[in-house]
Copies of this chain bind each other. A is one copy, B any other.
Amino acid sequence: MSVSHGFKKLVKVREAVSILLNTFKNLEPSIEEVPLTEAYGRVACRNIIASIDVPHFNRSAVDGYAVKAEATFEASQLNPKRFRVIEKLKPTEDMLYEDDIALKILTGQPVPDSLNAVVMLEAVSEADGFIEVYSPISPFKNISRKGEDVRKGEIIVEKGTIIAPQHMGLIASCGLTRVPVYRKIKVLVISSGEEVVTPGKPIIHQEIYDSSSYVLYGLIKRKLSEPWLYPKSPITSSIKDILEALDYGLKEFDITIFIGGTSVGQTDIIPRTLAKEGDLLFHGVAMKPGMPTAALNIDNKPVFCLPGPPVACFFSFLEIVAPLIEVMYKLKKTFKPAVKARLKRKIAGEVGKRVYVRVLLKESNGYIEAEPIAAGGAGILSSLCKAQGYVVLDENLDSLNEGDVVDVYLLEG
């Protein structure tokens, strides 16, 4: 039996995501151009096209001697082909080379048009200004041909790519200095609860510090977006405060997230209040932790209510909010393989809910072992800091057994 804690109906995680993606399929951040040096970790907002061939001349792939391949075709051990070596460190003009000339050349240097192969330095020995070649060399051997890396007009970075160091290099190799990217998605984080206190202030007996705002702050940054903390956080459960915060969010931000007061108890007024301002897409997700999660469409902007306990808030963001951000950024599907590990202990799921279990990872005898962390609880943040990853038990699993090989999703840090 899936316990719903007063929720009439729990929506499955994948349904929740699919509702969100459908509702907001036309949302796309605005765009800007940034200098190449600022492009790291930004998302390309259109295909970036090579403006030149790279290399834009035939260049040597090795240190050696450029020759005419045809001149070696008859070469053999008994009848080596002899070349006269010339050196020319900076070939500024292309000259015609005789058949018996070998041009000393370094890796990366241009191969003159009248030569078409390079003999590797260590394949021959130079003596008295001559080399001998003992076997035929095929045309373009050891030459990086013009356009071999990139052809002019080719897509070098696809729309939706997160710019990594290698992309920065490829953009530079075409001579480009500015990169068209999406503006960072701006996300407002609003915490709530009369017992919640902002760090830095004193707390009395029953109060707790706001930790979930900072968990989200980090997660939003990790999702390449721009987090903002609502200046009046934590808000009380008054309708006026909620609507004021909503208004602030809708005006300036792409996504607004309320934390806390998201269940169906009598003090959980936030989803109810917001539902009057737009469409409640779902409230109550079949996940553990993270069940009291709601999403709304208000003025065609996504508004979320995430649970207050920080671990619940963490998984709720990862599973519900993050996929929307990825789709808004048109992120290319990348290969995100999980780590295969053997469970050290049985873990219990809950049929009807997707359950997230934090694990420690250890390498032992060539296997990776995943040890579930006992101290669960949606509020026990230290367990998430100790864990290296987490295992997901799908809705139809009531448990996983000791020794089972499971997929572990790695946590950062």
Contacts and interface: CB of A to CB of B under 8 A. Distances in A.
Contacts of A92: 205-206
Interface in A210-262: 210-219, 221-222, 227, 229
A185 B335 CA distance: 31
B217 A149 contact: no
Contacts of A210: 172
Interface string A101-145: 000001111100000000001100000000000000000000010
Nearest to A196: B108
Contact of A171 (B55, B148, B176, B214): B214
Interface in A153-195: 156-157, 161-177, 194-195
A293 interface: no
Contact of A165 (B121, B166, B203, B314): B314
A166 B337 CA distance: 22
The interface size bin for chain A is 35 or more
A267 B168 contact: no
Nearest to A362: B335
Interface of A: 3, 5-6, 36-37, 40-41, 52, 54-57, 59, 61, 63, 89-92, 106-110, 121-122, 144, 148-150, 156-157, 161-177, 194-195, 197, 199-201, 203, 205-206, 208-219, 221-222, 227, 229, 263, 265, 267, 308-310, 314, 334-335, 337, 339-340, 361, 363, 368, 375, 377-382, 384-385, 388, 410-413
Q: Ordered nearest first, which 10 A-B pairs have the shortest CB separation? A: A164-B413, A165-B218, A169-B215, A173-B211, A172-B214, A177-B200, A169-B211, A110-B206, A168-B214, A166-B384
20 contacts: A5-B122, A6-B121, A55-B208, A61-B379, A109-B195, A110-B205, A156-B382, A165-B215, A165-B216, A165-B413, A169-B314, A170-B211, A172-B213, A173-B381, A174-B209, A175-B197, A175-B201, A334-B388, A335-B361, A337-B368
